Amino acid sequence: MKDKKRTSAHELHSSPSSTTYNLYSDKATLLKCALVGRAWVRSSQRGIFRQIILDFSSITDIDGYLKTTERLVAVFDAQPRLASYVRSLELGGLWFMETRLDAATASVVQRLSNAELTEILRYPSLTQHLKVVDVSDVSYPDWNLPAEITGTPSRSIHLEELKLDHSPPFIDWLLHDSCPFEVWNLQSLCLYGHFLYSKIIGLMQYIGGNFRNLKINLRFSKAEEFENHLPNLRTLHLAYLEQGISFATPVPKIQALFRPLLNQDGNGFPLQHLFIDLRLEQARKVGVHP
């Protein structure tokens, strides 16, 4: 009689991890797995706390938001290991000007050590480990916020990637002495929406020569002028170029990108990749009927 195959201790140990990994999008099931047995607790908790979404959607629910952040802070203080499981933090709906909300949000963020991506809709306090920031629809007029809200030394967060979507004031803040973000060695920048030309140039001059990747909406700007301030640019992505009856042709903008190739001074042209998003306006047929 053949011996039955034995399940090794390693297989028993790794089974909960491999199972819960496939359930990271199903927190309800992960919560049940955490109650199955001790072997399932940590692997389930990694999935439960992998992504945190703090969404303040109603001015009438300030107390509810504050209670949620208080519970998270209490959990992270009691078990710092759980805070280390957080990989993504999303902040939504923080449009209401309320110091208590800012302080509560900051108290959560300051306890995170491994979060790599935080989407900011207003102004939270961030950790020094943050590398990627995605900012959408920021319109706050004054970046001189109280120290108890910022809570982060200036220029202490060294970013590698930055995306600004319809957030012109954020550029001013990036160049402000009190800003906790340092973009001197930024590798990738993505700009959507309308920004003053002078603001963009000021940011690019500050970033310096290490910059490699740029994605930008050039509806009201000239790509070749940006290139003059980015001597080591390798990848350029022109987004939302529009062609049609209602829009000026983008051809001159595109042609200008290739002028440096015609230089006869012997200097190499660093740009290696060019991506163009061209949106064609649907032509209107006059006098044509089905």
d(CA 161, CA 172): 17
- Which of the two residues, 284 and 116, has the higher pLDDT score? 116
d(CA 88, CA 39): 25
- What pLDDT is recorded for position 95? 61
- What pLDDT is recorded for position 72? 94
Query: How much of the chain, in percent, has pLDDT values that exceed 70?
Result: 63
- What pLDDT is recorded for position 262? 60
Residue 11 predicted with pLDDT over 60: no
- What pLDDT is recorded for position 73? 94
The CA distances from residue 219 to 37, 170, 281, 283, in Å, are 58, 20, 14, 20
- Which of the two residues, 173 and 224, has the higher pLDDT score? 173
Q: Which of 84, 85, 52, 80 is nearest to 68 (CA)?
A: 52
Residue 74 predicted with pLDDT over 90: yes
Torsion of CA 196, 197, 203, 206, to 10 degrees: -140
d(CA 123, CA 290): 54
- What pLDDT is recorded for position 70? 95
- What pLDDT is recorded for position 76? 93
82-87-88 Cα angle (round to 5): 115
Residue 120 predicted with pLDDT over 70: no
β-strand partners of 213: 188, 235
d(CA 186, CA 167): 18
Residue 190 predicted with pLDDT over 60: yes
Residue 284 predicted with pLDDT over 80: no
The CA distances from residue 20 to 28, 84, 109, 139, in Å, are 12, 17, 25, 40
- Give the range among 194-203, 235-244, 261-270 with minimum mean pLDDT: 261-270
List Cβ<8 Å contacts ≥24 apart for 281-286.
Answer: 281/242, 281/243, 281/244, 281/245, 281/246, 281/247, 282/244, 283/244, 283/245, 284/245
Query: How much of the chain, in percent, has pLDDT values that exceed 90?
Result: 7
- What pLDDT is recorded for position 133? 85
User: pLDDT band at 9, cuts 50/70/90?
Assistant: very low
The whole-model pTM stands at 0.54
- What pLDDT is recorded for position 252? 79
Domains in the chain: boundaries? 184-280
- What pLDDT is recorded for position 151? 55
- Which of the two residues, 248 and 163, has the higher pLDDT score? 163
Compute the average pLDDT of residues 219-232. Answer: 67
- What pLDDT is recorded for position 139? 62
- Which of the two residues, 231 and 7, has the higher pLDDT score? 231
- What pLDDT is recorded for position 224? 60
